C-alpha cells in the first residue's frame, strides 16, 4: 500500500471511529442524566466501574464489529476480541469514571485504531477520537492528517501544541493511581516537580489531558501506570498536533511512564521526572 493509500485508509477509519464515539457519547450522557451508581470495583475499592462503562463498551464493540468484522478489539471492560485483519481497535468506553460518578464534566469516550498488536511499543496508531460528552468537544486525528478539535458551538480548528515554553512556565497535568502505595509515591514525585513548573492540574481523564496538550490548554502531561486504552487515541492526537509522546530514557510510552509535551519541553520535563525519582 502506498503512503497516500495508507493515509486515505486512516481517514476512513477515523470517520468510523468518530461516528461510533459521538453516538455512544450521546447515549452515555443520557444515562448519566438519569443517574448512576457503582456497579463493581476493580483493582482497589476506589477503582470503580459503572453500568455506563459496561453498556458503552458493549455498544462500541457491536458497532465496530458491524462496520469492521475482521478487526480486533482491545478494551477496558471486556475480553480481547481477536481479529484477522491486523488492525485493532483500542477502546476506553469511559475514561474518567470517578468524574462521571460525581457528575464532574471531565470524562470521555476514547477510541483508537492501530495497526499491530494492542501494545503501545509495537503498534502504529492510524486514527483516534476522544469525545467529551458533556461539552460536546471532539478531539481527533489520523496519521499524517493532522489533529483537530470539533465543537458544535465553535466549529472546527486545527490543533497545535504550545512551542517554546520553558519548564518554569509550563502548566503540567498529571494523574494518580488507585493503590495507596502508588499514590504516595506519585505524591513524592509531585513535591519535587511542583516548585519547578508554573502549576499543576489534575483533570481525571488521561484522554482529555492529552487532548488538552494538543489544543494548547496544557503545556505537558505525565502519568505513571496508564493502560493502553487510556492513551491510544490521545497520544496520536498529540503527535499529529506537533507534540512528542514517550517514556523516560528514550523509551516508548508505557505503564511505566507516559510524557506528552512539545518537543522543546519534553526533554526538560523528562529529566525533572527522572531527578524526582519517577
Q: How many CB atoms lie within 10 A of CB 136?
A: 16
Residues of the chain with CATH 3.30.540.10: 3-158
| Residue range 153-206, pLDDT digits in tens | 889 999 999 999 999 999 999 999 988 899 999 999 999 999 999 999 999 999
pLDDT of residue 6: 55
| Residue range 201-221, pLDDT digits in tens | 999 999 999 999 999 999 999
- DSSP annotation string for 192-244: HHGGGSSEEE--S-HHHHHHHHHHTS-SEEEESS--HHHHHHHHHHHHHTT-E
Instruction: Name the CATH code of domain 3-158 (choices 3.30.540.10, 3.40.30.10, 3.20.20.140, 3.40.1110.10).
Output: 3.30.540.10
Is 76 annotated in some ligand binding site? yes
Is 230 annotated in some ligand binding site? yes
| Residue with more model confidence, 19 or 6 | 19
Helix/strand/coil for 97: helix
Is 92 annotated in some ligand binding site? yes
Is 95 annotated in some ligand binding site? yes
Is 156 annotated in some ligand binding site? no
Instruction: Name the CATH code of domain 167-275 (choices 3.30.420.40, 3.40.50.300, 3.90.1640.10, 3.40.190.80).
Output: 3.40.190.80
pTM of the model: 0.94
| Residue range 110-155, pLDDT digits in tens | 999 999 998 999 999 999 999 999 999 999 999 999 999 999 788 9
Amino acid at each position: 500500500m502506498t503512503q497516500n493509500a495508507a493515509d486515505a485508509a486512516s481517514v476512513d477509519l477515523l470517520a468510523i471511529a468518530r461516528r461510533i464515539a459521538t453516538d455512544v457519547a450521546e447515549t452515555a450522557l443520557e444515562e448519566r442524566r438519569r443517574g448512576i451508581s457503582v456497579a463493581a470495583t476493580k483493582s482497589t475499592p476506589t477503582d470503580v466501574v459503572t453500568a455506563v462503562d459496561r453498556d458503552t463498551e458493549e455498544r462500541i464493540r457491536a458497532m465496530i464489529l458491524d462496520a469492521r468484522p475482521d478487526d480486533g478489539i482491545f478494551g477496558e471492560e471486556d475480553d480481547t476480541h481477536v481479529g484477522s485483519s491486523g488492525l485493532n481497535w483500542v477502546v476506553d468506553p469511559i475514561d474518567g469514571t470517578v468524574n462521571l460518578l460525581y457528575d464532574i464534566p471531565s470524562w470521555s469516550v476514547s477510541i483508537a485504531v492501530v495497526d499491530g498488536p494492542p501494545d503501545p511499543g509495537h503498534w502504529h496508531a492510524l486514527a483516534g477520537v476522544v469525545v467529551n460528552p458533556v461539552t460536546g468537544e471532539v478531539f481527533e486525528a489520523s496519521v499524517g492528517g493532522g489533529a483537530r478539535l470539533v465543537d458544535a458551538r465553535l466549529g472546527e480548528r486545527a490543533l497545535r501544541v504550545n512551542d517554546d515554553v520553558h519548564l518554569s512556565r509550563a502548566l503540567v497535568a498529571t494523574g494518580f493511581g488507585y493503590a495507596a502505595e502508588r499514590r504516595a509515591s506519585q505524591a513524592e514525585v509531585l513535591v519535587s516537580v511542583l516548585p519547578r513548573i508554573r502549576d499543576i492540574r489534575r483533570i481525571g481523564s488521561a484522554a482529555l489531558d492529552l487532548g488538552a496538550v494538543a489544543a494548547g490548554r496544557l503545556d505537558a502531561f505525565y502519568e505513571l501506570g496508564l493502560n493502553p486504552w487510556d492513551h491510544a487515541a490521545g497520544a496520536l492526537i498529540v503527535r499529529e498536533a506537533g507534540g512528542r509522546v514517550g517514556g523516560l530514557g528514550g523509551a516508548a510510552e508505557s505503564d511505566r511512564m507516559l510524557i506528552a509535551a512539545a518537543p522543546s519541553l519534553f526533554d526538560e520535563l523528562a529529566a525533572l521526572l527522572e531527578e524526582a525519582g519517577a
